[in-house]
Chains A and B, each alone.
Chain A
Amino acid sequence: MNKQQEPLNDVELDQLLATASLPPQINGFEEKLLGRMANVRPVAMLRDNVVPFVRPVAINHKPAKPVSRGIGIAAALAASLIIGILLSDNAGVSELVDGVTGLQTSGQVADLAPAGLDDIGPVDEENQS
């Protein structure tokens, strides 16, 4: 193998790398950078301008005392009893429905009574298909 065609060894490669170009001199790097720095605010400076955020004191929700909890339950029970008594009458239901729907159903409530054997009328067999 011709010596010229042999691959480069490490020493030879280093000799060639030593010939690589060097970066050109930079002029005014510092001045240009200082100009750019003037437009940038350091983090520390930004911190100086920040008004500290005061965390609001959390409202302490104390659990209700057992006595007051009992009063609430008793009131709810009493209210449900009263409503139950009121609604036990048909009129009460009708009034409640009228109040909610705005319809005059009070007179028809009586018809809502459950049907029994008395209500069975004669069947006209001729009209049956």
Chain B
Amino acid sequence: MGAILALRAGPEAPATRWQSATDAALLEASARHIEPAFVVLIQRYQRDVYRLVWRISAGHADSEDIAQETFLRLWVNPAQVREAKALKGWLLRVASNMVMDRYRRKPMLNIDAAEDIADMAPGPDGWRELSQVSRAVDTAIAQLPDRQRMALALVHFEQMSNIAAAEVMELSVDALESLLARARRRLKEILGPEGKEMLLAVEKAK
């Protein structure tokens, strides 16, 4: 048993050999099908990819599957990524395209697609629980059109610059800004007057 553990922690273990490697080195090694190098790439970007997929698919159960499929596409041909600095953008673009493709074929089952913000408002006591506000905000985001939701996810939740987000979405920066503005306007409409009450609950929870 000890020998097996020693082998696992040997020179090929990602933690020791590849962990500090640059993306360029990892991509190059992955192209030579060195699996431990690819594992480090997975570790580096899996959270980003999964978070984006989860957000734009409105928390669909297939999110993990789509995130894995994204990495599989990279593993099949790492040379698709011409420049290592474009790797994150490439992964996010492939992942988001996959979400769009998959749900264009079959309707998306959102987190709370069937629920309406008004229906979620808690009785006469108002919005007491922060979790209720969270669900209402999730529902509002899920109701945005796909492209608006994606723009919001990239810029607001992934903290990407407008330029980087525009590259991921293969849009001009102006087009991205327009999508973002429409997304925010639409969210304000969806949340409506309830939004102010939700804010009170958020203030109280602090």
On A, residues with C-beta under 8 Å from B are: 3-8, 10, 12-17, 19-23, 26, 29-30, 32-34, 36-37, 40-45
**Residues A20 and B141 in contact, CB atoms below 8 Å apart:** yes
In the complex, A12→B133 CA distance in Å? 13
**Residues A45 and B33 in contact, CB atoms below 8 Å apart:** yes
Chain B residues closer than 8 Å to A13, beta-carbon distance: 184, 187-188, 191, 195
**Residues B76 and A40 in contact, CB atoms below 8 Å apart:** yes
Chain B residues closer than 8 Å to A26, beta-carbon distance: 46, 50, 64, 67
- Distance from B129 Cβ to chain A, minimum over Cβ atoms (Å): 11
**A–B Cβ pairs within 8 angstroms, 19 of them:** A8-B191, A8-B196, A12-B196, A13-B184, A14-B156, A15-B202, A16-B137, A17-B137, A17-B156, A20-B157, A21-B111, A29-B46, A29-B50, A29-B68, A30-B42, A37-B72, A41-B76, A42-B76, A42-B77
On B, residues with C-beta under 8 Å from A are: 31-33, 35, 38-39, 42-43, 46, 50-51, 54-55, 59, 63-64, 67-68, 71-72, 75-79, 111, 130, 133-135, 137-138, 141, 156-157, 184, 187-189, 191, 193, 195-199, 202
In the complex, A110→B111 CA distance in Å? 102
Closest to B195 in A: A8
- Distance from B4 Cβ to chain A, minimum over Cβ atoms (Å): 16
Not counting A19-B133, A34-B39, a sample of 8 additional A-B residue pairs whose C-beta atoms are within 8 angstroms of each other reads A8-B191, A16-B133, A16-B195, A19-B198, A20-B134, A23-B50, A23-B54, A42-B77
B interface secondary structure, majority: helix
Chain A residues closer than 8 Å to B111, beta-carbon distance: 21
In the complex, A22→B135 CA distance in Å? 11
**Residues A30 and B39 in contact, CB atoms below 8 Å apart:** yes
**Residues A19 and B72 in contact, CB atoms below 8 Å apart:** no
